[in-house]
Amino acid sequence: MGIDKRLSTPYHPRGNGVSERYVQTAKKAILKRIEGVEKDWDYYVPSVQLAINHKTSKRLNTAPFTLIFARNMNDFKDYTAPGDDTPKRPMNEKELKNRLDHMAEVVFPAIKERTKQVVATQQDTFNKSHRIFTFPINSHVMVKVKTKHSSLAPSYEGPYTIAHKTQSGTYILKDETGALTPRNYVPSELKLISQDEVLEEDELYEVEAIINHRGEINNYEYLVRWKGYSKEEDSWLTPNMFTDPNTIHTYWKKRNASTIPNKRKQEEKGKEQRKKEKQVRKQNL
């Protein structure tokens, strides 16, 4: 069907501003209604939804309900009370068609024009108090890591290439293989890097695993097994030749895990040796 499903950045309203704002409004309204009984939150969703749809939008200068149904919402009153002169019959087909034509020819164009003006005013106000940085298309960036496995883990991962900028100001990225990332990124998640440091796709090879290492601290080299190649093609690489530092981190994590049992055995042997030495000293005394 030609649908491109993409995800927005969580906890970054700028990535999907209109939707996030309505979610925030709904949550605040429900919070006031539940009176501390959180388990009943879903009971209040319909009434909160109706209230939001009845609220006049500053951007549209009308209520969403009116735009959806081409009429104003009925007041909350008893329409069966004596003396009520509200029309009780529904609109016929001709009346409904005339109402819809009026909405399409008059109301919607006016709202569209007003929306452009309001958005432009809001954008100017925002730009005066915020520093806006635009990443050029095809420039190379690093992406901020959301969850780090340790305080010494890299804060950014990549590199990625800017593929497209959306209307909401987020960016679609592609990785080193040219594949698009599954979600969009807000500018605060990105960091521009030197445009000379990124290798072309034809110069990249995928690492299957690191087999071994050699050298001393701050001067390590790693023996790499390439994916799709035999062990005869194994190569020694320095850390700066890896595009993903997690490859090295995974190697050391596995290596340290394998050495823990040996360390424990050595500690147990040391304890036994110290006990024997104490016993010998007592016997000599």
pLDDT, tens only, 206-254: 888 898 988 887 788 899 998 888 888 898 988 878 877 778 878 888 8
Architecture of domain 133-199: Roll (2.30)
**pLDDT, position 260:** 46
Strands, E assignment, the chain? 140-144, 156-165, 171-174, 190-192, 207-214, 221-226, 235-237
End-to-end CA distance of the chain: 91
The secondary structure of residue 7, as a DSSP letter, is B
What is the helix, strand, coil percentage profile of the chain, to 5? 45, 15, 40
Task: Judge if 133-199 and 205-285 fold alike in CATH terms.
Answer: no
**pLDDT, position 162:** 92
**pLDDT, position 259:** 54
Cα torsion through 258, 261, 267, 269, rounded to 10: -120
Sequence-ordered list of residues with C-beta below 8 angstroms from that of 267, at least 6 positions apart, any chain: none
Count CB atoms within 10 A of the CB of residue 198: 19
- Sheet strand arrangement including 221-226: 207-214, 221-226, 235-237
**Predicted TM-score of the model (pTM):** 0.45
Domain segments of the chain: what residues? Answer: 13-76+86-129, 133-199, 205-285
**pLDDT, position 169:** 82
CATH number of 205-285: 2.40.50.40
pLDDT, tens only, 47-67: 999 999 888 888 778 888 888
